[in-house]
Amino acid sequence: MAVAMPLQRARPPAPFRRDGVAKRLAPFVVAACLAIVILLDGSVVPGGMTRAALMSASFALGGLLALGLLDWAPFRVHVTILMACVVTAVWPLDAPTTTQQVTDLVCGVLFSVALLLALVGPWERLPLWAQSLPLVLASGALLLLRMLAGAPAGVAFPLSALFVLWLALHHTRVEVTVGVALSALTFLLPPLSQAMTSELALGLLYAATNFVIGFSVEMIVRRQREQAEDIEAVEQLLRQIAMGDPDHARATICTGAQELCGASLAVIFEVDHKGMLVPSAGAGASLPDVKFSRNGEAFRLDGTPLGESLRGYSTVQAFASRQPVLQPDMGGKPAEVQRMARDLGSVATLAHPILRHGQAVGVLTMSWKQRRRRVPERATATVALFATGAAAVLEQADAQLAYRKSQREYRALFDDPQVAVALTDSDGRVLQANRTFLNSFGIEAESVDDLSLPDLTHSDDRATAVAHLEALRTGAIDQTRAERRFVRRDGSMLWADIATTTVDDPSGQPSYCQNVLVDITERKQAEELQWLRLAVIQATADATTERETVRRVVATLGQTQAWDEVELWLVHGASEGLLLTETWRRRQRRKPKTDRRQGATLNAPESVAARSWFQRRVVLAGAEIAVPAITDGEVVGVFVFRSTHARDLGLAAREALLDLGARFGEFLIRRRAEAASRAAAKRLEELSMTDPLTGLRNRRAFDRELSAPRRSPFAILAIDLDNLKSINDEHGHEAGDAALRAVADLLSAATRDGDMLARIGGDEFGVLLEGLTLEEGGAVAERMRASTHGVNFAYGAVRISVGCAAGDAATPAISLWRSADAALYSAKRAGRDRVQSVALGHRLGPTRAAADELVSRVLATRAIDAVYQPIVDLTTGATIGFEALARPAGAAPSATVENLFAAARRLGLDRDLDWLCRRAAVQCAHPLPEGVPVFINIGIPLLLDPVHDVDQMLLLLHWARRSPGDVVLEITERDAVHDIKRFEQVLKAYRAEGFRFALDDVGDGHSTFEVLAASMPEFIKIAGGFARLDSHRGRHSAIRAAVTFATDTGAAVIAEGLETERHLTLAATLGVHLGQGYFLGRPAHAEDLAQRQSSSVTLPAVMVTRDRAVPSTPHTR
């Protein structure tokens, strides 16, 4: 049983809702104002003609408002009209006495306030009963006016009647009863309290009048409201029915009738094909298991008789009489029927016939659980309304179903231009066919004589078609559907999706067959082309060259399709013309249609290939078809297909061919791009293996060559430019690049064609010499070194150091390269510009790789220690300072970090290593005596580094709890100063914080008078080599010049490298009064120095005592 949605009853509208409230109040306001004027003033026109004219005008406008003729006006106009009625009726103070004027004033104020509250108050938000309170309170006020002011009953009656009438129109019977009761008290209570018999009789008359007015109007309004609700409910149901199917419509009718009539069960009985009244829909319970015959017998739905009825059934009687029939109870019915009725809650029944064009087509039966002698008029009217509406809706639904069925069977079959329809007999002979069918087979005549579907079927599918016809004729199947090939009159092939259905005659025997054919030729062509596309993709998947790709594609197109000849014309980029690239022909063809040879150029603009190229579309010309291959809007080629007969291509086939051409064009472009990419990749690989500066192989190529297996003994050379850094510093990187190129040319000239020469790094080269022993490789290295001596270089001499190692074919080349690198490292330590050869397995000390590894380990673990060497006053033997010397953790105090810094500079980690050394210098100096400065070495590039500036140094000293006055920054001049102005600014910033400076190794490195003058150091340290060469008069003069400069600038001079007593004597002779060296004290840890500082250094007697002040404050300029 279908389920319907329940009815949604509308809530009664609120009387004081804002929409139309002035229109509803207008008649009551005008009537009340007129009553007040007549009863209180005693005249219609009190106050003269002016008041009468204003009152008449306002009352007339109020009447127009009540009639709805002023609905177009805004709400404020409506309020103004009603207030004008009140003002003209109540407010004029023309009463004869002051008391009367006061009374009029009070009434006017109360009436105006009440009217404004009614118009603009939020009454619609309150419940309906709460909206009756103003009227009830007004009736109470009228009662008080009668009791206290003694107002006559004739004055109160019009107002009381208006109150009762408003309640009757807009409220329920409860509110009306309250209003009528208050009205009765208004007219009866004052006479009873004052014992006025005549007034009591008049009050009874007025009270009875209000009673009649109130309840009669309420009853009329209530009936109209119920009828409106019923009509609205029925319309709602009909709208639901119109939107649903027939089953849902029947269920909706039953639900609506049951709800509106308050029944326990509603059932629709309809006549089935056997003439029985059968329940088709219901509401309230399950459908009853009963059906009726037209002669009044009852049966179960399965056909079991239920016995004879003494009084008959109301459903059958209503159907037969076509009149409503009420059955008060189930008396006289068979026991089985009574039991069924009790189970369904059915005692009294009302059956109403469903009539269509005056004939009964069904019955709407209502049931109640109680015995009923009569049915309320409202229920009877509702059932009749539903029965009438149901008949119309069901008739419309049946008509729609019949119409749709008719459309499906006829119009869709014969009028659809996409569908071919033919009616055939059991043997397949055509009885009737539409125009689409005839056009599909190319038949011009309208006659279908001698047409047979088996004869039109392709020979390969004919046996299957005949077998299906035999199965339809014998009744084994009643319908069939298949995709078959047919032959048109012109001999071309037609693919069709054919569905055949048998149509029976009234006796149930097959009468004819209905055949519906849908042309699927284009789809089949598209499917074939799709398979062709896949075949082309598969054929070209393994092709590696463009030529092989073209050959496979053309061959696949010719072999998988019924073409006799296939050509591919590609657009030639140079001439912007078509070039015949590939041709395929069937072997059985004796003479080709064309006599073109591969590589021929197309010169005929009227050919199909040229037209397809120009027009960028598929071109058909008889037995030739040209398909362009378009990629990114450009035609890259044209396929030409030729066959023995003309072909007709549909839109789908054309699009498939265009897609095939586009895919081939994309594939061809991709192949060309892949070829170009491979060439570019090869070129990029070549570039990635080449050093851009020298044109030699680079480190990547050299490593690859080292990893390759060897077939013969070989030697490896590790080469390094000795002075590239100095060239870069003095002349710029352009000069350094020129030096590298010059060395690369020299090395290339010294190698053979089969040797590998590569630039490994900045100033490093590697050479792999095939088939050479260690001695032969050393000889080649020596020739290379010697060749650098015979070249004049614009920026100075260029020298190289070479390490050589050799091994047999089984020796790992990587191990041999490490040995050569270790030999190179040894050659550079031995003085550079030399060749060092090493046999495999022989160790020469630490390698550069080991030094690089040590740098990384030291920075990662911060494994740096510091030792200190005293600086002694040569006149007194007192220690005036300590130079901090960094050492790797665990190293001896006499060790050095020069190699460590060299490796750090190669790795770009010299800044980090320098800062770690500074940190160790200030951290380990705590045991040293207070007030004695610590000399900390710092290179010029690191001094000028903006990352570790003066602020960072101050933070480091703060962390170590030392002041800037306890630190002397010792500038090492191993690097040149390129920016003197920047150099001066940095030193000024440090001196502003209290730092002092010492210039180290004066007379060595890059020290110049310009640097000396720019730095103005507090200490000048003479290089150890000057002190040791005591017989060199020229250098002695240079030392005296430095002492003179120090004397003029207030600086102190320190002689380094004092290792003997003779060195001390020479220093005193040259005027140097501060010294540092092994003779005065070896480097030691701060703890050891603190224990030895209790006594001064004992100096030889030859030393002359003289006063010499040590600078304690920074110089200023």
For 938-974, write each residue's pLDDT tens digit: 888 888 888 878 888 888 888 888 889 889 999 886 6
**Is 80 exceeded by the pLDDT of residue 680?**
no
Burial of 410 (0-12, 13-18, 19+ CB in 10 A): exposed
pLDDT at 992 exceeding the cut of 60:
yes
pLDDT digits (tens, 9 = 90+) for 494-503: 889 999 988 8
Which pLDDT band holds residue 406 (cuts at 50, 70, 90)?
Answer: low
Burial 747-763 (b: 16+ CB within 10 A, else e): beebbeeebbbbbbeeb
1 pLDDT exceeds 50? Answer: no
Query: Of 870, 890, 858, whose CA–CA distance to 1080 is shortest?
Result: 870
What pLDDT score does 239 carry?
Answer: 66
Class (C level, CATH) for 529-679: alpha beta
User: Residue 722: its pLDDT value, please?
Assistant: 86
Give the Cα-Cα-Cα angle 347, 353, 359 (nearest 5 degrees): 160
The phi, psi pair for 350, rounded to 5°, reads: -125, 115
Q: Tell me the average pLDDT across 446-458.
A: 83
682: exposed, middle or buried (Cβ count in 10 Å: 0-12, 13-18, 19+): exposed
Phi, psi of 293 (to 5 degrees): -90, 165
Q: Indicate if 529-679 has the same CATH topology as 416-519.
A: yes
Neighbours of 797 (CB within 10 A): 14
CB 508 within 8 A of CB 489: no
Look at residue 899 and give its three-state secondary structure.
helix
Looking at per-residue pLDDT, the higher value among 345 and 433 belongs to 433
Quick one: pLDDT at residue 688? Answer: 77
pLDDT reported for residue 767:
95
Copy the structure tokens of residue 120.
């603009």
Q: CB within 8 A of 853, min separation 6: which ones?
A: none
- What is the widest separation between alpha-carbon atoms in the chain? 165
Q: Are the C-beta atoms of residues 163 and 135 closer than 8 Å to each other?
A: yes
What percent of the chain has a predicted confidence (pLDDT) above 90? 7
- For range 999-1024, the mean pLDDT: 74
pLDDT at 1102: 42
In this predicted structure, the answer to whether residue 812 has a pLDDT above a threshold of 70 is yes
Q: Which residues contact 41 (CB under 8 A, 6 or more apart)?
A: none
Q: What is the mean pLDDT of residues 179-199?
A: 71
Is domain 416-519 classified as CATH 3.30.930.10?
no
Say how far apart CA 1039 and CA 610 lie, in whole Å. 96
Least confident of 9-18, 64-73, 144-153, 1038-1047: 9-18
* Bridging pattern class, strands 298-299 and 359-368: unpaired
Mean pLDDT score, 1034-1043: 76
Q: Mean per-residue pLDDT for 1002-1019?
A: 72
Q: How far apart, in Å, are the Cα atoms of 452 and each of 186, 495, 502? A: 102, 17, 17
Which amino acid would we find at residue 81?
Answer: I
Asked whether residue 9 carries a pLDDT value surpassing 50, the answer given is: no
> Cβ contacts of residue 575 below 8 Å, gap of 6+?
601
CB 1021 within 8 A of CB 1056: yes
* Torsion angles phi and psi, residue 462, rounded to 5: -65, -40
CATH architecture of 259-405: 2-Layer Sandwich (3.30)
Q: What is the pLDDT of residue 715?
A: 93
Tens of pLDDT, residues 738-766: 889 989 999 998 899 889 999 988 889 99
Crossing angle for the helix pair 98-120 and 133-149, to the nearest 10 degrees: 170
Pairing of strands 577-585, 619-621: unpaired
CB 903 within 8 A of CB 1113: no
pLDDT at position 563 over 50? yes
Give the per-residue pLDDT at 200. 74
Nearest-angstrom CA–CA distance, 293 and 312: 11
Domain residue ranges in the chain? 15-125, 127-243, 259-405, 416-519, 529-679, 689-845, 857-1092
Q: Taking the CA atoms of 193, 198, 204 and 209 in sequence, report the sign of the dihedral they define.
A: negative
Q: How far is residue 1085's CA from residue 1091's CA, in Å, rounded to a whole number?
A: 10
∠ CA 568-571-576, rounded to 5°: 150
User: How crowded is residue 934: how many other Cβ atoms within 10 Å of its Cβ?
Assistant: 22
Residue 778 is encoded by which pair of tokens? 């050393």
Query: How many other β-carbons are positioned within 10 Å of the β-carbon of residue 370?
Result: 10
**Residue 636, pLDDT above cutoff 70:** yes
pLDDT band (50, 70, 90) for residue 504: confident
Rounded to the nearest 5 degrees, what angle is found at the Cα of 373, between the Cα atoms of 372 and 374?
90
| The pLDDT of residue 43 is above 60 | no
Question: Residues for the chain: how many in total?
Answer: 1117
Place of tokens 């009668």: 146
CB contact set of 807 (below 8 Å; sequence gap of 6+): 713, 714, 815, 816, 840
| Dihedral (Cα; 654, 659, 665, 667), 10-degree rounding | -140
Residue 718 reports pLDDT greater than 90 = yes
Lowest mean pLDDT among 56-60, 357-361, 867-871: 56-60
Is a pLDDT exceeding 90 seen at residue 780? yes
Both tokens assigned to 141: 């006020």
Question: Residue 844 — pLDDT band, cuts 50, 70, 90?
Answer: low
Answer yes or no: are the C-beta atoms of 366 and 257 closer than 8 Å.
yes
Superfamily for the 689-845 domain:
Reverse transcriptase/Diguanylate cyclase domain (3.30.70.270)
Stronger pLDDT, 127 or 981, i.e. the higher one: 981
| Pair 878, 1092: CB distance under 8 Å | no
Percent of the chain at pLDDT exceeding 70 = 74
Confidence at 1027, pLDDT banded by 50, 70, 90: very low
Most confident of 353-362, 527-536, 875-884, 977-986: 875-884
**Tokens describing residue 229:** 């609700």
Q: Copy the structure tokens of residue 17.
A: 């809702």
pLDDT at residue number 935: 94
Distance of alpha carbon 458 from alpha carbon 516, whole angstroms: 17
By three-state DSSP, how is residue 639 classified? strand
CATH homologous superfamily for the domain 857-1092 = EAL domain (3.20.20.450)
**For residue 839, which phi and psi values (nearest 5 degrees)?**
-80, 155
Please report, for residues 298, 877, 879, 1085, 1087, the alpha-carbon distance to residue 1092 in angstroms, rounded to integers and kept in the order given.
136, 13, 11, 11, 9
Q: Which residue has the tokens 């004049």?
A: 792
Output the average pLDDT for the chain. 77
Asked whether residue 1101 carries a pLDDT value surpassing 60, the answer given is no
Comparing 483 with 62, which gets the higher pLDDT?
483
> Token pair for residue 1031?
């017989």
Residue 671's alpha-carbon distances to 426, 543, 674, in angstroms, are 59, 9, 5
Q: Which of 338, 330, 290, 336 is nearest to 314 (CA)?
A: 330
Q: What is the DSSP string of 425-488?
A: -TT-BEEEE-HHHHHHTT--SS--TT-BHHHHB-TTTHHHHHHHHHHHHHTS-SEEEEEEEEE-
- Residue 695: how many other CB atoms lie within 10 Å: 12
Residue 319 CA to residue 356 CA, distance in Å, equals 12
275: left (phi over 0), alpha (psi -120 to 50) or beta: left
pLDDT (0 to 100) of residue 815: 86
| Element at 1025 (helix H, strand E) | helix 1024-1028
Q: Do 482 and 468 touch, CB atoms closer than 8 A?
A: yes
Rounded mean pLDDT, 541-552: 75
**Contact status, residue 627 vs residue 661, Cβ threshold 8 Å:** yes
**Could you tell me which of 253, 518, 197 has the C-alpha nearest to residue 388?**
253
Question: Which is it for strands 419-424 and 359-368: parallel, antiparallel or unpaired?
Answer: unpaired
Alpha carbon separation from 1052 to 47, 281, 933, 940, 967 (Å, rounded): 130, 124, 14, 21, 16
pLDDT at 714: 93
Q: Which residue has the higher pLDDT, 440 or 717?
A: 717
Q: How far apart are CA 230 and CA 210, in angstroms?
A: 30
Q: Is the pLDDT of residue 360 over 60?
A: yes
pLDDT (0 to 100) of residue 968? 92
Tell me the range of 71-80, 161-170, 591-600, 707-716 where mean pLDDT is highest: 707-716
Label each residue of 62-73 as H, E or C: HHHHHHCCCCCC
Average pLDDT over residues 38-46: 52
| The pLDDT value given to residue 44 | 46
Asked if residue 247 has pLDDT above 50, the reply is: yes
